Structure 1
Amino acid sequence: MMLRKCCGLQMLGFGAQLGARPLGGASTQLRLSGRPPLTSSAAAALRLPRRLVCILHARVSKPVDVDNRRDLAGSMRPPAQQTGGARNKPVHRTPAACRWRPALWRRPCRAAAAAAAAAAAAPAAAAQEAPAAHSLRGTARVFKASLDAMLGGYLADSPRAVAAIERLLPGAGGYEGAAPSLPLDHVAFRTFGAPGLGIDALGAALASFGYARQPGAAALDGGRVTAAWFALPRAEQGLLPRVCVSQLELDSLSPEARAAALRYTAPLAVAFEPTAAWAAALTRALPWGPVALDDFCVLGADSEYASWVLTNGFSLAHVALSCPEEHGGLEAALGRLRSRGFALNEARASDAAARTASDAAVRASDDGLLFQAATVADLLEFWFGGEAEPRLVPGSYLKLVERRRAPGAPAARDGFDAAAAEAFLRSTVLAAEEAAALGAAEAEAES
């Protein structure tokens, strides 16, 4: 009898999503994955044993440790008192709408409340990508799966980006399960230029998946940041995105900032292999221990890029969506975002890449074939070592790319534009300025 009831539960699509309120009473709700809530009376009609329901409820509501980066919408409570050498990670109460994913719990994005309503429409959008995904084999297929996992973490921690994706692609990217349906132009990582952590480390991992480093390296931020990009052989480029990796040259930092960075990077110089770098990108785990607030401030005063890497590690710095010209291009996409008041990375007077006078958010390449824009980065709550309260730090951002085809060319313009790439470093700088303003306002309100 118990087996039959459990099978019936599974056939109904019962997911690990239960109401956070105590069981019992008319207000109790049991949530089905992608379905409306199931009341306790309906559960009783199914004759579900109360012990089984309690076990499922405990499985979901039990607090778990997660990474110390959380977005502003996440519920959290202060971490337990730390002892020497303890990991400084908060304990979060898992929200009722949380979905179970292998190896870790992820709180859904702000748009997760609309995920159930969009679930019926999402399969149609995802199905358009199915033939390409199913055609992948070997290392390409494994890379696609790992990239989808990275995108799930990116979406979970980037509510602004998620809201923008929902606006641009309704029902096809606003929640974790829809990552495979995103039309990616490229993804980007930031690193420290240190042994085991720089472009060479991620490049070696990418090489195992068939990616090759492309000729030329861009010098950004006055030569302090070096950027390179990787791509698959031409025959496979339409199935998987380009990958951009940049690194901060530690020698360009002030002596005090360089000493702060080396406190985290030097211990990893020997033992940190490319596979570990890829695993850190996959899991969004910081490769070093708790981050001291003083070190973060010292690095931030010299280079916002450095402080970003210190708190975000190998997490995706940005995800770039393709905006084909035949679908309205970048202009139409920005129009949809502006109609909802999204904050964009606007050009400054000194921005050499702002060659599109009609739109300050668009950076155009010299050849007039590559047009790009970006949102302002999300803000995350980060727990620094020894601190009683979290601090706001910049997270990741969303980028939009339109590539045009030159007359007579067989394909659209490829590659990257160094001037535009440098301008988009400001997406996290703007977020850092926003975090500082919010912190100052909060301190003033408390005084």
Structure 2
Amino acid sequence: MTALETVLDGLMSRYRERVPDVGAIIDAMIAEGIIGKAQDIENDHIAFRTLGVEHLGISSLEKIFLHYGYTKREYYNFPEKKLDAYWYAPPSESYPRIFISELRVKDLSETAQQIIRSYTAEVKQDPVDGLDLNNGEAVDIFLHSALWRTPTLQDYRTLAAESEYAAWVIYNRYYLNHFTVSVHNLPPGYNTIADFNAFLEKKGFRLNDAGGKIKTSPDNGLLQSSTIARMIPAAFANNETDRIAGSYVEFAERRVLPQFAHLPASEIKRAHRREGFEANNADKIFESTYSAQTGKQ
């Protein structure tokens, strides 16, 4: 197993442990005969959330994946949520794309900035610089280790009132935010977002309806949906506890580009489908962890 495979396997195994919908959806797909085993699912992309402060953020985290052969691609801006993001193309089609977003901390209120920096100031240098990136196990441990002290519940709630993204990251750090099922590679009857959403809802899964349950790019080439993050028990500083939004599962349908429409289905590869991301789609997908959605469960 390569270092990259070790890192991806570690991310997914912990994510499955902590996000009940992952296993539940996979089990439902197997029971329905859509797939034979979990490995039959193509993972379209995985996503991370970061904070734009010194020593952290995109410029730090991306070093890991650039080292493993990923290529930095388009930039995305989310004005309302005060986020920047990039996506990264994998070194081969057997690996997922990666999407890394970053909160523009300097655009928040002074109160929110002070809270965030009271934690992130504990990071005195870029932590990735001290990693042996060829040691997949060490990188896996890093991605699941605390970079700053456990926040207080009051700080978490104060941040959430202004930026639910900030609150999510201050508690979860680099924890995997979501993985994405490529529905276009599933059997007919389940290989469109509309059909797959119908299957999920029939099985009792709640979908994020911000901007509609199906988020569609202007060119109609990229369609996405996601579950609503389940509320999970969280342990804060001073022995306080609360239930907060965890992670979620996303679904993507990448349609065949017009110039390849003549190809038989058996010949369609990743390169023949709509690539990249869509800011308006992603903007609504972010809300899968927001209280306006999680409160509907």
* Both proteins in one fold, TM over 0.5: yes
Structure 1 gap ranges (5+) = 1-136, 352-359, 439-447
Structure 2 residue 82 is matched with structure 1 residue 227: no
| Alignment partner of 1:244 out of 99, 111, 126 | 99
Q: Find 1:340's aligned residue among 179, 182, 203.
A: 203
Task: Pick from 149, 152, 157 the counterpart of residue 297 of structure 1.
Answer: 157
Match of 1:82 in 2: none
Aligned length: 278
Q: Sort the Cα spacing of 1:242 and 1:417 in 2 relative to 1 into closer, same or farther, 3 A.
A: same
Q: Calculate percent identity across the aligned residue pairs.
A: 28
Match of 1:323 in 2: 183
User: Which residue, 55, 63, 79 being the options, matches 1:196?
Assistant: 55
Alignment of 1:412-423 (within 5 A): 412-423=273-284
2:206 equivalent to 1:314: no
Q: C-alpha distance in 2, partners of 1:179/1:193?
A: 35
Match of 2:225 among 347, 351, 373: 373
SS of match in other structure, 1:205: helix
Q: Does 1:364 align with 2:223?
A: no
Alignment CA distance shift 1:267-1:150 (3 Å) = same
Q: 2:251 aligns with which of 386, 392, 400?
A: 400
Per-residue deviation, 1:274: 4.7
How far off is 1:161 after superposition?
Answer: 2.8
Aligned-pair distance for 1:283?
4.9
- 1:433: Cα distance to partner? 4.8
SS at match of 2:259: coil
Opposite residue 264 of structure 1, the aligned amino acid is: Y
Residues 423, 281 of structure 1: CA spacing in aligned structure 2 closer, same or farther, 3 A cutoff?
farther
Summarize the alignment of residues 9-88 of structure 1 with structure 2, pairs less than 5 Å apart: none
Structure 1 partner of 2:263: none
Task: For 1:152 and 1:171, locate their aligned partners in 2 and report how far apart those are by CA, in whole Å.
Answer: 23
1:257 to 106, 112, 116: 112
Q: How much has 1:425 moved relative to structure 2? A: 1.1
**Residues 220, 422 of structure 1: 8 Å contact kept:** yes
- Counterparts of 1:184 and 1:207, CA distance in 2: 19
Work out the CA distance in 1 between the residues paired with 2:50 and 2:248.
Answer: 16
Instruction: Report the CA distance shift for 1:274/1:223 in structure 2 as closer, same or farther (over 3 A).
Output: farther
Q: What is the distance in 2 between the residues matched to 1:149 and 1:325?
A: 24
Q: State the SS of the aligned residue for 2:219.
A: coil
- Counterpart mapping for 1:120-159 below 5 A: 141-159=2-20
Q: Is the 8 A contact 1:148 1:179 kept in 2?
A: no
* Ranges in structure 2 where 5+ consecutive residues have no aligned partner: 261-270
SS at match of 1:414: coil
User: Which residue identity is paired with 1:285?
Assistant: S
The answer as to whether partners of 1:378 and 1:396 remain within 8 angstroms in 2 is yes
How far did 1:387 drift?
2.6
Superposition RMSD in Å: 2.7
Structure 1 residue 196 displacement after superposition = 2.4
1:184 pairs with one of 39, 43, 49 = 43
Deviation string 1:186-208 (CA, Å, 9 cap, x unpaired) is 00000101122211111111111
Q: How far apart in 2 are the matches of 1:261 and 1:332?
A: 42
The question of whether the paired residues in 2 share the 8 Å contact of 1:219 and 1:225 is answered with yes
Structure 1's 336 and 244: CA in aligned 2 closer, same or farther, altered over 3 A? same
How far apart are 1:430 and its partner, in Å? Answer: 3.6
Runs of 4+ in 1 over 6 A off after TM superposition: 171-174
Distance 2:193 2:106 in 1: 38
1:431 Cα shift?
7.3
* CA gap 1:186/1:433 in 2 versus in 1, 3 angstroms: closer
Higher relative CO (Cα under 8 Å, sequence separation at least 6) belongs to 2
Q: Give the whole-Å Cα distance in 2 for the aligned partners of 1:377 and 1:219.
A: 23
TM superposition shift of 1:365: 0.7
Please tell me whether residue 387 in structure 1 is matched to residue 248 in structure 2. Answer: no
Aligned-pair CA distance for 1:324: 1.1
Give the CA deviation at 1:279: 3.2
Displacement of 1:343? 0.7
Greater gyration radius: 1
Q: Residue 107 of structure 1 corresponds to which residue in structure 2?
A: none
How far apart in 2 are the matches of 1:423 and 1:251? 23
1:184·1:241 contact (CA, 8 Å) conserved in 2? yes
